[in-house]
Amino acid sequence: MDTFGYNACVQEWADALFRFACKCTGNREEAQDIVQNCFAILWEKRNQVTIEKAKAFLFQLAYRKSVDHFRRIQKVRTGEAFPDQVVADTMPSTDLKRILNQALDLLDEKDRALVLLRDYEGYNYEEIAQITGLSASQVKVYLFRARKVLKEYLVSVKSVL
């Protein structure tokens, strides 16, 4: 991949990667750092990564860094409830999209990333498996588990309303 290909990747995927990292980490500044790191690594390895594989490569990096960040933060917040989670419990929204976004915060880092890769980027199970290092059947099971959590949250919010 040459410089023009790299710049095309920036134009094409920077925003999507940033949204993914934002949702995975729940932190805008951290997501910005992750995106910068991902593109810095892509630039370093541009001779080994083709432009067709660049998107999966970027999301793979972002997934790993987001999971690492999530685990690091979780150690700091041991025993504390996430602020977003509190907001989701106390401020139910009538907007379905917003409810689902709040419900995403209930998921653990891996399940959330799987849902985002599936819904945000439209990856199939095999592609998600390549990005996350899981098997396709594991991806299917984890996605089912995550969707079930979202469904239960959605049902609970609706019952309150």
The angle at the Cα of 106, spanning 155 to 113, to the nearest 5 degrees, equals: 115
> Which residue in the set 27, 43, 60, 89 belongs to the binding site for other proteins (CB under 8 A)?
43
Q: Which is nearer to other proteins, 68 or 95 (CB)?
A: 95
Helix (H) or strand (E) holding 68: helix 54-76
Length of the chain: 161
What single-letter amino acid sits at 154?
L
On whether the CB atoms of residues 103 and 150 are closer than 8 A, the answer is yes
Residue 93 found at the interface with other proteins (CB under 8 A): no
Q: Which is nearer to other proteins, 67 or 117 (CB)?
A: 117
| x/- track of binding to other proteins for residues 101-140 (CB under 8 A) | x--x----------xx-xxx---xx--------------x
Residue 6 found at the interface with other proteins (CB under 8 A): yes
- Contact region with other proteins (CB under 8 A), list: 63-71, 74-82, 87-95, 148-156: 148-156
> Which residue in the set 14, 41, 56, 134 belongs to the binding site for other proteins (CB under 8 A)?
14
**Could you tell me the end-to-end alpha-carbon distance of the chain, in angstroms, rounded to an integer?**
52
> CA nearest 109: which of 73, 76, 81, 83?
73
What single-letter amino acid sits at 12?
E
Chain residues that interact with other proteins, rule: CB under 8 A: 2-4, 6-7, 10-11, 14-19, 22, 32, 35-36, 39, 43, 96-97, 100-101, 104, 115-116, 118-120, 124-125, 140, 143-144, 147-148, 150-151, 154-155
